[in-house]
A and B are shown apart, each in its own frame.
Chain A
Amino acid sequence: GDSVTQMEGPVTLSEEAFLTINCTYTATGYPSLFWYVQYPGEGLQLLLKATKADDKGSNKGFEATYRKETTSFHLEKGSVQVSDSAVYFCALRNTGGFKTIFGAGTRLFVKA
């Protein structure tokens, strides 16, 4: 079945460092891909999405490009801030899918 694999955390970075969180997926068909973020004490929020191959989703300085050839959707940010500390979830929804399938989440700590 469909699945999402993302890098294990925690990831600890200093402020202004470059961030990459790897995400790969296994799916039949043409899924849509998402990154969700969960800040401490808050619910899941959609960070960005891409609905077809080569699409780039972007929001709040974060970017991810839908790469069908490598079945990847890596999350990147050029300069992280302390306020980016959160758990990041990569996810997919497949064509005709009734559920969003999530990766295990990657916890990011950003130090001042």
Chain B
Amino acid sequence: GAGVSQSPSNKVTEKGKDVELRCDPISGHTALYWYRQSLGQGLEFLIYFQGNSAPDKSGLPSDRFSAERTGGSVSTLTIQRTQQEDSAVYLCASSLRLNADTEAFFGQGTRLTVV
């Protein structure tokens, strides 16, 4: 597609429920990244994919968070048993390669509110 697409754009969920956030990267981009932006905070790196592989999951905040990517394209970030501190904007980005000089293109984000 023309840009990185994320859905839903907004999600309100009750504490304890599971949520799935979707990211559709730019076609042909092999690298995909998830970030979290809490109110008034910077961007917290969560996880990256090279193809379908996520070599380093240490950035995920807890074992309630998981992510997968299929077909080298769409990625899903799943948060189980949501807590209020999970409320944030979740940003997805993709880049053509993992090289340092390759820019990352960001989606509009999913604003998650846990009530």
Per the bound structure, the CA–CA distance linking A33 and B110 in Å amounts to: 26
Contact mask for chain B residues 87-111; partner A; CB cutoff 8 A; 1 contact, 0 none: 0000101000010111111111100
Known: A43-B91, A43-B106. A104 touches B100 (CB 8 A): no
Q: Please report whether the interface of chain B is mostly helix, strand, loop or mixed according to DSSP.
A: loop
Interface size on B, residues (CB 8 A): 25
Check if B50 is an interface residue, CB within 8 A of chain A.
yes
Q: Which of B15-23, B41-49, B60-68, B69-77 contacts A (4 or more CB under 8 A)?
A: B41-49
- Does residue A97 face the partner (Cβ distance < 8 Å to B)? yes
Question: For B56, what are the chain A residues with a Cβ–Cβ distance below 8 Å?
Answer: 98
A contacts with B: majority SS: loop
State the 9 A-B residue pairs at the shortest beta-carbon distance, nearest first: A44-B106, A104-B42, A43-B108, A51-B101, A102-B43, A93-B100, A32-B100, A32-B101, A99-B45
